């Protein structure tokens, strides 16, 4: 199998080369993202490997299909950048549903700890020989109410961390897990009661901009908002307004709805063209990390291993466990349970 690997970074190549020693596939790494302009580079390959900020719209899918691509291996859990209606019946798509839920959950809580105790500001002060602790006041997490939206694998691990800190935990999920010893409630109750809100849900039509003017208006004064899931969950303009009025006390963002042009790249010598991103970065009570919540050794190894296993299942005509298609998403009749593949 020949694999065209887009948006490749040095750490991707390191871990995929290591894991690929057991598979023996031919991998061509392209540094640029997959787009309408670059999709033609997949000519002569059988598989495309893509990431969260690659563009897999209808135009790109059509180009890949015309070039003979029959299989897209997403090396991530999210798939909101894929036009599944365009792929159905043409190109099989797989993902990595779980690589290290611990990595993302721990990063989310690291953002909470840093924002609360203002570690980022204290670090900058002491580097300048300023040892004043004025304005660095935090609060005890013990006894505070944290609202967790989404109780999948990452959400569950995050909840366990919160339990260790003695926090009051309330959760919302469209599909509650009855095995979890937590208090499920409505989304409105999450907004109204929580001192901290942490998002651990996928980006879908129902969740797009779930953090907006109306939801922020319901929240407690000084609420902390954490997003390590998908940028589109938060209406950034509304978040900025909430920060300006101090309705939102702080925010920790590992994702941003327009991140594809910036995240994973170095723009340190340039001026940001994105006025919204530049504004959000100007707040001292906001921490933005560049989609690095997943970024641990364990996660990168698991991503490479699962991605190549997905490709091997397809190559050997076995049931492709991690395939997802238009019918899957719409709860329609999918053929995977019958034929081993979605179509």
Enter the pTM of the model: 0.90
- Cα(256)–Cα(278) distance, integer angstroms: 12
- Cα(56)–Cα(62) distance, integer angstroms: 10
How many Å is the Cα radius of gyration of the chain? 21
259 is a catalytic site residue = yes
Among 46, 107, 230, 257, which one carries the catalytic annotation? 230
For 234, which DSSP code?
B
Residue 322's Cα: distance from chain center in Å? 18
For 342, which DSSP code?
-
CA distance between the termini of the chain: 21
Per-residue pLDDT at 335: 86
- Cα(118)–Cα(114) distance, integer angstroms: 5
State both tokens at 286: 């906001």
Block mean pLDDT (10 aa), the chain, length 343: 96 98 98 97 97 96 97 94 95 93 97 98 97 98 98 96 98 94 97 98 94 98 97 98 98 95 92 95 98 96 97 94 90 83 87
- Cα(327)–Cα(285) distance, integer angstroms: 43
All structural domains of the chain, each given as residue ranges with its CATH number in brackets, are 2-99+297-339 (3.40.50.720), 101-288 (3.40.50.720)
Among 259, 305, 313, 323, which one carries the catalytic annotation? 259
Closest CA to 313 of 341, 337, 342: 341
Where does the chain have alpha helices with state H?
A: 10-20, 58-66, 84-87, 101-117, 119-127, 153-164, 187-193, 213-218, 236-244, 275-281, 297-315, 326-329, 336-339
């Amino acid at each position: 199998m020949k694999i065209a690997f887009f948006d490749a970074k040095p750490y991707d190549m390191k871990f995929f080369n290591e894991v690929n020693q057991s598979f023996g596939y031919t991998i061509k790494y392209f540094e640029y993202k997959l787009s309408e302009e670059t999709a033609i580079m997949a000519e002569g390959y059988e598989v495309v490997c893509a990431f969260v900020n690659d563009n897999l719209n209808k135009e790109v899918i059509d180009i890949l299909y015309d070039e003979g691509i029959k299989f897209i291996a997403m090396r991530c859990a999210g798939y909101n950048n894929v036009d599944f209606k365009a792929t159905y019946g043409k190109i099989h798509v797989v993902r990595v549903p779980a690589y290290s839920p611990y990595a993302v959950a721990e990063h989310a809580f690291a953002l909470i700890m840093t924002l609360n105790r203002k570690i980022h500001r204290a670090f900058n002060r002491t580097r300048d020989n300023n040892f004043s602790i004025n304005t660095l006041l935090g609060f005890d997490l013990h006894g505070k109410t944290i609202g967790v939206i989404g109780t999948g694998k990452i959400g569950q691990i995050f909840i366990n961390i919160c339990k260790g800190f003695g926090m009051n935990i309330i959760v919302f999920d469209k599909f509650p897990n009855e095995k979890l010893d937590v208090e499920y409630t409505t989304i409105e109750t999450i907004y109204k009661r929580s001192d901290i809100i942490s998002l651990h849900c996928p980006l879908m039509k129902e969740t797009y901009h779930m953090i907006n003017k109306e939801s922020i208006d319901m929240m407690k004064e000084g609420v902390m908002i954490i997003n390590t899931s998908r940028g589109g969950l938060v209406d950034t303009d509304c978040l900025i307004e909430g920060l300006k009025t101090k309705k939102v006390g702080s925010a920790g963002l590992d994702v941003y709805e327009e991140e594809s042009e910036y995240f994973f790249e170095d723009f340190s010598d340039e001026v940001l063209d994105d006025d919204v991103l530049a504004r959000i970065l100007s707040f001292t009570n906001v921490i933005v990390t560049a989609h690095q919540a997943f970024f641990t050794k364990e996660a990168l190894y698991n991503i490479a291993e699962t991605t190549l296993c997905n490709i091997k299942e397809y190559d050997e005509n076995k049931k492709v466990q991690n395939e997802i298609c238009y019918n899957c998403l719409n709860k329609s009749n999918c053929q995977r349970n019958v034929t081993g593949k979605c179509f």
